[in-house]
Structure 1
Amino acid sequence: MTDWAILTAAQMRAAEQGAFDAGVDEYSLMETAGAAAAEIIWRAGHRRDALVLCGPGNNGGDGFVIARLLRARGVAVRVAALGESRTVSSQRARAAWGGPVEDMMSAAPATQLIDALFGTGLTRSLDATVASRLCALAEAAVLTHAVDLPSGVETDSGALLSAVPIFGICIALGAYKPAHLLHPAAGRIQRLILADIGIAVPGIMQRLAPPLLEAPVAQAHKYNRGLVAVIGGGMAGASLLASIAAAHSGAGTVRRFAADRPVAGPHAIVSRQTERPEAIADALADERINVVLVGPGLGLEADGRARLDAALDAGHPMVLDADALTLLGEQGARAIPAGAILTPHEGEFQRLFGDLPGSKIDRALAAAQASGSIVVYKGADSVIAAPDGRVAVASGASPWLSTAGTGDVLAGLAAGRLAVTGDSFRAACEAVWLHGDAARRAGPAFVADDLLGTLPAAIAARL
């Protein structure tokens, strides 16, 4: 098992088939999965009485295994099924349970509810009465557990196919699935736990992992630690937020070139008033510049376009955000420089790439491949995609990030980490993780400026 791997429904089936082809018995895998889930449920609920809901397929078979193992530990377990078991392994698990099986539609609630109705691969909604009954039983329980996925969730997109209750714990079997991390399904899970079931899984899609950062070496100086140039426009606050974030990211030097007059900020950041595009070109001729960030506070008028063009012509590695993305949207993906980091929110993404089909992961990948860039598709679930197919998905970010200026901070972080590492995908992943951790440390009701004060602690924790 790869601890951070994400598999689609088809990939999970292929991984299981690979185990079967290698000699693993299907029922033995069900026993392993059920045992792993039962251990997690036991630790959470101990001897509290439990109701296990079992569907007709192998997810229901997992539920029968869970019920049997919890009963062996002294838990007062009842099982309620949605019809007969239809697979060989689930029938075997039901026989091994050997106890009464109630009708789900009439079963009384319990302190713990364990949803093993439908797991990976569900493609249609639950019957409205079944979905309503599931929600009612979950509401009546004190502790709720979903086995693999909450029933009613589409595995690959995270869409809710029918009404889905909120589960206290979701036990991901073998690997994370996109729905564990993509909204709205991710919003129905309060705590996500990965259970090892002993099968090998590929790892090209990953849940975003905490980065391993490095402190500067003893021989470091301000230029070999990375020089970031931030190109702003007339809105001083946005480009200044981005500049300070870049300075706190680990980069050695930050220079801010903007149309506004130099404003208050850290004295370590050199701010220069550069109104003419020619002045931008001259400023970016410095070969020591590692990364250019364009977008925060740039403006959408002709002057903003000219400043963006001057930055594009300089040929440095780039981070493109905010107004730069809107301006590039007028030209389409072919105008985006290869290897750049793009940080669009939903509206900017659509302006750049149109209404692409598929899940958020599918759309981010298609955009990365079309543009040859690293795409940080922002939101409550942020997807970082590379043209070579690598994907990292971050979820669980603070909802307080939905405030003005936090995107500028993220863009500055991405630029700074790119200046330090020289690796666009790695830099984007590090920036998203550090941004989220800084928000966690800032607590509720923060403003974007508050993130700047928590960034050093977020970085220190990963050294």
Structure 2
Amino acid sequence: MNELLTPDEMAQADRLTIAGGTPGLTLMENAGAAAADATAALMPQGRVTVVAGPGNNGGDGFVAARLLAERGHNAKVVLVGDPDRLKGDARAAFERWRGPVEAASPDALNDCDIIIDALFGAGLDRPVEGAARAMIEAMNASGKPIIAVDLPSGINGATGAVMGLAVKATQTVTFFRRKPGHLLFPGRLHCGPVTVADIGIAPSVLDAVQPRTFANGPGLWGAAFPRPRIDGHKYSRGHAVVVSGGLSTTGAARLAARGALRAGAGLVTIASPREALAVNAASNLAIMVRPVDGVAELAEFLGDPRRNAVVLGPGGGVGETMRQQVTATLRSKAGVVLDADALTSFAGDPEPLFAAIKAGVANTVLTPHSGEFARIFNKIIDNSKVNSKLEMARAAARASGAVLLFKGPDTVVAAPDGRASIANNAPPYLATAGAGDVLAGMIAGLLAQGMAGFEAASAAAWLHGEAAAAFGPGLIAEDLPEALPAVYRRLVEGLR
């Protein structure tokens, strides 16, 4: 269940199911039952107030209220809107409810133990105003546990944006598949734990919907994940190269190299300026160090096709020399990871970078954090039609011709063909110096073993988060590669 459905895609899944013979009211009954089950599990007995809106989300709330009342809960519905304007399945659910319906008022929440938020679903695309806003404010101020139906009201299901104000749910029950807004920030902060309920939509409808957004995890890229062969050897597992900066900035390259080695590359070499050769050599054992100075020597070094993945940028310095190194690297046949200084060197003038990527044969991955993204893709940010991290990443991948890994607690990986993954396993411990250098190396290590760019970047982002979570508090960047073996062990066992 890695697929993430936008509100429009979810509506299509509903329509296809209804066209296939399942009544819409049946889907609503199943959705309301799931919300009722979640409520009863959190509070087996007590007073329940359902805050219902005028659409199908409100209809789910009426069903939940009826089922909870039948189980012995003291339930009531607070309706935001005119009951005479309810239509279709929501009207039918309203008519099946025999309990009290009160007009929207914050005071209506005073005499309850738990709240069901059935005000808006995932499709909200305008700021919350009026009575709806007052009820969201009252729900958040109540101190009562809140079960959100589909998505906390006020969160845009496609972008995760807060539409002026949003419910802060204790937990969320959604249907068939999660939505991007469940994983993207700030929406994820409002959801609490998210449960996906089966309401009678067959997975086969996905063949028609053809979603392009996925939750990042082994179910997405596991089939492509490299597994060492019993008859393999180090050369068959690829050779990653990390280009080092000068004497005072070697740490970033060494972290990236260690990440590449732990990610499974058979060989890893640091291409080092001669001034830093002794430092790089003294601090590495399994990682080789070779003298490489200037653009011409780098191009010659990468002329060996066995060196099939390159990391460029960590600690490399910003300026014309880096721009030339990037261009030379993109002319090689290696997969390329461009991070940090390799990106910043093209700030304000990214078109030569994009042209070099598109002209090359390399499998290229760009790994910006938000500041680097703004420097390289400012035209995309300024485009008012792009209003979410997910769509900005997609637009950047299309513009650059590269796989784009947009870092953050909700790291998005986007491919030029429109596929995208969203990670939700990164713990806060990853906010530490050098963690991004290790990630760049991990991507290169997977590229060296033959993974394609989108899959390699997605897998590395997930592994990065899992390694940080496995280590826990006190994490520093050097700990990440050493935490990978245990993560790999669990992953490989799960993929068998």
Bin for the TM-score computed over the shorter chain: over 0.9
TM-score, normalised on structure 2?
0.88
Percent identity at matched positions? 39
Counterpart check, 1:311 vs 2:311: no
The amino acid across from 2:109 in the alignment is A
Q: Deviations over 1:375-418 (max 9, x none)?
A: 11111211111122211111252123222211111111111111
| Rounded Cα–Cα distance in structure 2 between residues aligned with 1:128 and 1:29 | 30
Aligned to 1:188: 190
Q: Which residue, out of 1, 16, 19, partners 1:18?
A: 16
Displacement of 1:132 after TM fit? 4.1
Q: Which residue, out of 146, 149, 172, partners 1:147?
A: 149
Counterpart check, 1:40 vs 2:41: no
Listed as ranges, the matches of 1:5-404 within 5 Å are: 5-85=3-83, 86-105=86-105, 106-109=107-110, 110-127=112-129, 130-199=132-201, 200-201=205-206, 202-210=210-218, 212=222, 213=225, 215-234=227-246, 235-259=249-273, 260-261=276-277, 262-263=279-280, 264-329=282-347, 330-332=349-351, 333-336=354-357, 337=360, 339-356=363-380, 357-404=386-433
* Closer/same/farther in 2, CA of residues 355 and 193 from structure 1, 3 Å limit: farther
TM-score, normalised on structure 1?
0.94
Q: 2:423 touches 2:462 (CA, 8 Å); kept in 1?
A: yes
- Please identify, of 144-153 and 236-245, the stretch whose mean Cα deviation from structure 2 is larger: 144-153
| Rounded Cα–Cα distance in structure 2 between residues aligned with 1:108 and 1:425 | 47
The amino acid across from 2:261 in the alignment is A
| Rounded Cα–Cα distance in structure 2 between residues aligned with 1:350 and 1:77 | 50
| Rounded Cα–Cα distance in structure 1 between residues aligned with 2:435 and 2:134 | 39
Please, which runs of 5 or more residues in structure 2 have no aligned partner? 381-385
Which runs of at least 4 in structure 1 moved beyond 6 Å after TM superposition? Answer: none
* Closer/same/farther in 2, CA of residues 307 and 355 from structure 1, 3 Å limit: closer
- Please identify, of 299-308 and 244-253, the stretch whose mean Cα deviation from structure 2 is larger: 299-308
Displacement of 1:441 after TM fit? 1.3
Counterpart check, 1:456 vs 2:480: no
Displacement of 1:129 after TM fit? 5.5
Q: 1:344 touches 1:378 (CA, 8 Å); kept in 2?
A: yes
Q: 1:326 touches 1:352 (CA, 8 Å); kept in 2?
A: yes
RMSD over aligned CA atoms reads: 2.0
Any idea what SS the aligned residue of 1:310 has?
Answer: helix
Any idea what SS the aligned residue of 1:158 has?
Answer: coil
Any idea what SS the aligned residue of 1:160 has?
Answer: coil
Displacement of 1:148 after TM fit? 0.7
Aligned to 2:383: none
Please, which runs of 5 or more residues in structure 1 have no aligned partner? none
* Structure with a larger share of its residues in helix: 2
Q: 2:334 touches 2:363 (CA, 8 Å); kept in 1?
A: no
| Rounded Cα–Cα distance in structure 1 between residues aligned with 2:167 and 2:29 | 27
Displacement of 1:166 after TM fit? 2.0
Displacement of 1:94 after TM fit? 1.4
Displacement of 1:119 after TM fit? 0.5
Aligned to 1:416: 445
Displacement of 1:33 after TM fit? 1.5
Q: 1:45 touches 1:143 (CA, 8 Å); kept in 2?
A: no
The amino acid across from 2:455 in the alignment is R
Any idea what SS the aligned residue of 2:3 has?
Answer: coil
Displacement of 1:322 after TM fit? 1.0
Q: Deviations over 1:181-228 (max 9, x none)?
A: 111112212212212222233332111123534541111211101110
Displacement of 1:143 after TM fit? 2.3
Q: 1:346 touches 1:377 (CA, 8 Å); kept in 2?
A: yes
The amino acid across from 1:313 in the alignment is R
Displacement of 1:48 after TM fit? 4.0
* Closer/same/farther in 2, CA of residues 209 and 42 from structure 1, 3 Å limit: farther
- Please identify, of 350-359 and 115-124, the stretch whose mean Cα deviation from structure 2 is larger: 350-359
Q: 2:80 touches 2:131 (CA, 8 Å); kept in 1?
A: no
Displacement of 1:142 after TM fit? 4.2
| Rounded Cα–Cα distance in structure 1 between residues aligned with 2:447 and 2:199 | 37
In the comparison of the two structures, how many residue pairs are matched?
A: 461
Displacement of 1:89 after TM fit? 1.2
- Please identify, of 208-217 and 83-92, the stretch whose mean Cα deviation from structure 2 is larger: 208-217
| Rounded Cα–Cα distance in structure 1 between residues aligned with 2:464 and 2:487 | 8
The amino acid across from 1:378 in the alignment is K
| Rounded Cα–Cα distance in structure 1 between residues aligned with 2:236 and 2:336 | 18
